[in-house]
Amino acid sequence: MHISSVLSFTMLMVSLMSETEGTDRPIVGILAQELPWIFRVPGATSFVPATYVQAVEASGARAVPIFINKNMEYYKHIMTSINGAVFPGGGTDFTAPHGYAATGRIVMDIAQKLQDSGVSFPILGVCQGFQLLMYLAANSTSEDHVLVGCNATNIALPLDFRPDFNQSSLFRHASHEIIEILQTLPVTSNHHRFCVTDKTMKSHELQKSWQVLSTNRDVNGMEFISSVEHFHRPFVGLQFHPEVNAFKWNLGQANPHSHKAILSARHFYDWVVDRSKANNQSFANVQEEHDSLFSNYCPGLMYKNTSSEYRAYFF
């Protein structure tokens, strides 16, 4: 057999092996959060905004809720049945002993253990979810916080990329068009009153484990971190909301809906879905898989008025 034939056969086998190690049917878990007391939904104590489910499904995965306030056996089971996770935006109290942040800590701990055992398990943190990743990584407390106050509510911004951003897992395979849109047009939707800065990252030594990919400035000129990626794990944090460009229609909100805004926003959920395909975790059987999906629940309106609507899944 010619050497070229041997090499071709070897490359084919490596390709087939890599494909069998992953999945083309990824399922992404979306972390639920406490239902604010002002929204009275009978029987519900938690929710997931529908925009995150829509974004994950639009990028080619199915989605399941990761419930809060469950026992450890539940989290071990769900985390070894799904292929990736999203920490969504919101406004919860990270210091609360239960709920979104406490559950996020469990999910992140299990994801790290999976990674250490050879299972690539991605996490995408969005706005509050990005802040939670930083909060947990820094072992923050109410007295020693990685977050600082800022004013970046309801503004759309282009990204100010840092050197070597295009060497990251998040942007390495992004097209020139996507990068140009993100870099030159105000397409990232920001709705946050807290920020992570270079100073707070360094004070908690986060720069040793996390690469800052981009920054932005709030309305007062304060620079804040807008995207990060872990050096060794498939964990990404975004301070902005890519899911709103295609799926949220509130009048008066800076949610860009242009073709280029929607095109560039999809890149981020494509990333978590593509990275989720790298592991072959699954539910025990098809019935359990089907019973776990968001499609078993009917989204409802959290609020509806003349200027906005907000759909969510309630639990």
The DSSP string of 273-299 is: HHHHTT-----SSHHHHHHHSGGGS--
Strand partners, 214: 161, 227
192 is catalytic: no
Task: Name the burial class of residue 208, with classes exposed (0-12), middle (13-18) and buried (19+) by CB atoms within 10 angstroms of its CB.
Answer: exposed
Give me the catalytic one of 127, 191, 195, 267: 127
Taking a C-beta distance cutoff of 8 angstroms, is the pair 242, 170 a contact?
no
pLDDT of residue 142: 67
Taking a C-beta distance cutoff of 8 angstroms, is the pair 209, 232 a contact?
yes
pLDDT of residue 232: 97
Name which of 150, 169, 176 is nearest 239 in CA terms.
Answer: 150
195 is catalytic: no
DSSP, collapsed to helix, strand or coil, labels residue 171 as coil
pLDDT of residue 11: 43
84-87/27-31 β-pairing: parallel
pLDDT of residue 5: 45
pLDDT tens per residue, the chain (315 residues)? 454 444 444 444 444 444 448 999 999 999 999 998 888 888 999 999 999 999 999 999 999 999 999 999 999 999 999 999 999 999 999 999 999 999 999 999 999 999 999 999 999 999 999 999 999 999 977 667 899 999 999 999 999 999 999 999 999 999 999 999 999 999 999 999 999 999 999 999 999 999 999 999 999 999 999 999 999 999 999 999 999 999 999 888 999 999 999 999 999 999 999 999 999 999 999 999 999 999 999 998 877 665 556 899 999
pLDDT of residue 16: 41
Give me the catalytic one of 192, 230, 241, 267: 241
Taking a C-beta distance cutoff of 8 angstroms, is the pair 268, 124 a contact?
yes
pLDDT of residue 143: 63
Taking a C-beta distance cutoff of 8 angstroms, is the pair 26, 289 a contact?
no
pLDDT of residue 207: 96
pLDDT of residue 184: 99
Strand partners, 64: 29
Which structural domains are found in the chain, ordered by start? Answer: 25-314 (3.40.50.880)
Taking a C-beta distance cutoff of 8 angstroms, is the pair 245, 139 a contact?
no
Return all residues near 201 (Cβ < 8 A) that are at least 6 apart: 134, 146, 207, 210, 212, 225
Residue 310 sits at the vertex; the CA angle it makes with 307 and 311, to the nearest 5 degrees, is 145
Residue 203 sits at the vertex; the CA angle it makes with 197 and 209, to the nearest 5 degrees, is 80
